[in-house]
Amino acid sequence: MTGPDDFAIVTHELTRRFGDQFAVNGVALHVPRGAFYGFVGPNGAGKSTTINILTGMLAQSAGTARILGLDLDAESLAIKRRIGVVPDGPHLFDRLTGAEQLRFAARIRGLDRRTADQRTDALLGSMDLLGEAGKLIGSYSHGMRKKLSLACALIHNPELLFLDEPFEGIDVVATRHIRDILARLIASGHTTVFLTSHILEVVEKLCTHIGIIAGGRLALEGALDALRAGDGGHVRTLEDRFLEVVGAPAEKPALDWLGAGERT
Amino acid sequence: MTQLLLLLQLRLRLIARVVQGGAGRQVGRWPLLFLFVLAGVLLMTGLSVAPAAFMAVSEHGAGGLLAAIGLIHLGWLVMAMLMTSLSEALDLRRMLRYPVSPRLVYLFNIAATPIDLPALVFVPSLMACVLAAGLRMGPLAGAGTALAVSFIALYTGALLQLANTAFERFLRHEWVRAIAGLLLALFFVAPQMMGRVRAHAADLVELGVGIGASLRWVPTVSLPALIAQGAMTGDPLQLAAGTAGAAILLYLIAALGAAFAVQVARAPEPVARVRARVGAAPARSRTLDTRVPGQIATLLGRELRYLARNPALIVNLGLLPVYLYFFVVARPLGRTGGEYFAVFWVIQIVSTYALNQFGFDRGGVRQFFMLPVSTRRVVVAKNLLISLVTVVTAGLAALTLALLRQPLSSAQSIRAGLILLLCLPLNLISGNISSVRVALPMRASFGPARRGRGWANVGRSLGVMLGQVVAVAVPLVLAIIAPPERRFMVGAIGLGLETVAAWAWWWSTLDRAARRLSDERESLLTALASANEEG
């Protein structure tokens, strides 16, 4: 029997409209504490909108959400103290240095100066950013910003980590390193990770639980192993399951002219 | 031809987009109204100057035309350069990815010069020249003048494009740009140095005619003038030589400009050239931490770092003594009224930051909503920073006046101090609204990202300035009509009461400002975060 305290995230009828269009439509999420939850879906399915609502960037049009047992609307500051967020676009303060940005993120969360300095150095080292620590973020590449953004999200040792497409624009080495950090985080049992991605292989390797969103609606949710299990003990890949839920690609125009001799 | 039509369509779309912010966000009624008022004012200015051009040509023939087109050419160039942020030219860098010849885009931008805002001032005068020549000297003279003024418009466009490319190439580094801004400001106060501001209107007209005539040595003026002169005198050789010369010169400027522009457009994005290494952790904010409670101190420390890395502020502060010297110390405001100018200039600097408090944060503004900090604290930290800027700027102004002229009397100091204390909360209140509602991304590098949005900034600055003038004027007018022995007291008490009321008003609006920041965060993020993607 599971109670509300067993979940890091619970949403009820979460809805977000842009004009007449529903970006998220009545989503009911149940993310268990300590889970590595992969939130997947096709482009434009509502993944980023959902994560933006859950992290306070966007207001929902309807519905409720409880994060770490707290009400999203009434206790948003208390929630923000306990979560870490890596948004899709790593928007940081361009005119701070990497080290200054990290210290700012630590101090604003109430860490004392000494702890902030120690963790800043440790995270910069871990993210291979020590050499760039004194440079303005404005001169950082996309990958460096993404790593710094992750460092900012981790500096206060959050209970819940939101990662929106964390591997996009990151090289193979950095991706591997970040995956290792996340795996360690989950193994500690202290942290829940909510990750959106459209790279199913990564999600399949890392996640313990999966939610599939399509057209703004939560199409499927559950433990990864349970979702992959088919009839007669047959185990399917996440991609198979995903295509089953989202639907196989519809019939598309043939594009016969593509690659043909005529070039204009 | 199809590509040219598509470019024209794109350009018209960009002009239409001026009424919207980024991502289709409506800027609002007042800035839009300001755009129309600005266009109206420019057109009225153009129409009021056009009769002078008509008179110059009809009374002085070719000589008058030379002076007229010379002044128009120079004035158009200067105004267009000053109004770059209001322009919507096609950005060559962004067009490189399409199979359109970059030279074609460049030439299109030259040809489209007459459909920009500054053209409203100068095109009527050019048309007046044509009309005067046609009416006074016959159709051939009119046709020749029409050709001549067309060349003037094209030369203006070609030189403007060349200048914009040069700015982008050489002013990418923000400190170079800051120094250039300082030099430009000094250029504009140069007439003051020569005592020209005190000259009579007749002297100014004489000066204008002199400048116009001296431009006969400039080929972009003399060659079109030669065409018109040939047409007016019926000299086909002069007409042909002028036309051929003007066409060749235009080709050379355009070809050189296009090659230069393509080279600059293909260079790496300027964002990579943001000032490189800076110290890891200045001691300043650390000492602050112990004085101001927790989060606000951290926020203020970040604001101070940002401000210290903003050359625009350094330039503004550097210009303050320069302007005070030229306008207050070395006449014309003389010994009286100098403190009002000083206060005006301080407020001008403060307004720049107050009205667009998140502009330099750009995409970083997202952090304020991700981190566990209340929006009220963000607003308070921003307002504290602006108050600090006010104190520093006012202190510098007082010091400048004391060193260069004489210290302000106690009455002057009290009056100036009260005016500043009154204007500061008014700036904060209006700034807390406009910073969220009409947020404009400010970029570190010179470039087209700010184009088409600058007018909203200018409009709201003027509106807020007008409100402050009214607020300050009321007690000062009351003081003037009071008996002489009570004037100072009446003025001071009036300003004092207004100041107390203004600060009480500011305090009462803080919660609303915080709520607004929270409620309208989506549009703020759209306006500023998308700027990061634009580069």
Q: Which amino acid is at B160?
A: L
Give the per-residue pLDDT at A16.
94
Confidence of residue A61 (pLDDT cuts 50, 70, 90): very high
Strand partners, A160: A83, A192
- The shortest CB-CB distance from B281 to any of A56, A79, A103 is to A103
pLDDT value at residue A139: 85
Q: How confident is the model at residue A149 (pLDDT cuts 50, 70, 90)?
A: very high
User: Which residues in chain B are contacts of A89 at CB distance < 8 A?
Assistant: 363, 366, 529, 532-533
d(CA B394, CA B387): 10
Of A56, A103, A108, the CB nearest to B369: A56
| Structure token digits, residue A16 | 């977000």
pLDDT digits (tens, 9 = 90+) for B69-98: 888 898 888 887 766 655 666 677 767 777
Residues of B in contact with A87 (CB under 8 A): 366, 370
Q: Mean pLDDT over all residues of chain B?
A: 78
Least Cα distance to B444 among B320, B306, B337, B338 occurs for: B306
pLDDT tops 50 at residue A89: yes
Contact residues, chain A, for B307 at CB < 8 Å:
none
Neighbours of B209 (CB within 10 A): 18
Q: Which residue of B has its CA nearest to A142?
A: B533
Contact B305 A95 (CB under 8 A): yes
| DSSP helix/strand/coil, B226 | helix
> Which is higher by pLDDT, B197 or B295?
B295
Provide the percentage of residues in chain B whose pLDDT is more than 70.
72
At B531, the pLDDT band (50, 70, 90 cuts) reads: low
A84 pLDDT above the threshold of 90: yes
What is d(CA B329, CA B172) in angstroms, rounded to the nearest whole number?
35
Please tell me the distance in Å from B273's CA to the nearest CA on chain A. Answer: 7
CB atoms within 10 A of CB B296: 17
With 90 as the cut, is the pLDDT of residue A53 above it?
Answer: yes
The arithmetic mean of pLDDT across residues B335-362, rounded, is: 82
Query: Residues B429-461: pLDDT tens digits?
Result: 999 998 998 888 875 444 334 444 555 666 667
Place of tokens 């909503």: B369
* Tokens describing residue B387: 């108050």
Structure letter (DSSP) for residue B141: H
- Provide the pLDDT confidence category of residue A19 given band limits of 50, 70 and 90: confident
Closest CA to B419 of B480, B473, B483, B354: B473
Confidence of residue B119 (pLDDT cuts 50, 70, 90): confident
For residue A192, list its beta bridge partners.
A160
Asked if residues B138 and B58 have their Cβ atoms less than 8 Å apart, the reply is no
**How is residue B84 annotated by DSSP?**
G
Please write the tens of the pLDDT for every residue from A192-244. 999 998 888 888 888 999 999 998 999 989 999 888 886 666 778 888 888 88
Query: Could you write out the DSSP letters of every residue in B165-189?
Result: HHHHHHS-SHHHHHHHHHHHHHHHH
Statement: residue B518 has pLDDT above 70: yes
Which residues does chain A have within 8 Å of residue B362's beta carbon, measured at their own beta carbons?
A: 91, 94
* Residue predicted with more confidence, B106 or B241: B241
**Which of B156, B131, B122, B154 has the alpha carbon at shortest distance from B57?**
B131
Kindly list the residues of chain A whose beta carbon comes within 8 Å of any beta carbon in chain B.
55-59, 77-81, 85, 87, 89, 91-97, 99-100, 103-105, 107-110, 113, 133-136, 138-139
Q: B96 versus B26: which is more confidently predicted?
A: B96
Query: A57 and B521: CB-CB below 8 Å?
Result: yes
pLDDT of res. B445: 43
C-alpha of B139 from chain center: 41
Chain A residue with Cα closest to B533: A89
* Mean pLDDT, residues B36-62 taken together: 86
pLDDT interval class at A2 (50, 70, 90): low
Half-sphere exposure of B13 (CA within 13 A, CB side): 8
pLDDT bucket at A6, cuts 50 / 70 / 90: confident
| Secondary-structure percent of chain B, ordered helix, strand, coil, rounded to 5 | 80, 0, 15
pLDDT value of position B22 = 43
> Which tokens in the block code for residue B360?
């330099």
Percent of chain A topping pLDDT 70: 95
> In terms of pLDDT, which residue wins out, B352 or B96?
B352
Segment (H or E) for B257? helix B236-266
Query: According to the model, what pLDDT value does residue A231 have?
Result: 64
**Edge to edge, what strands does the sheet with A36-40 contain?**
A83-86, A160-164, A192-197, A36-40, A209-214, A217-223
pLDDT, average across residues B181-196: 56
Neighbour tally for B271: CB within 10 Å:
18
Name every chain B residue with its beta carbon within 8 A of the beta carbon of A100. 280-281, 302, 305
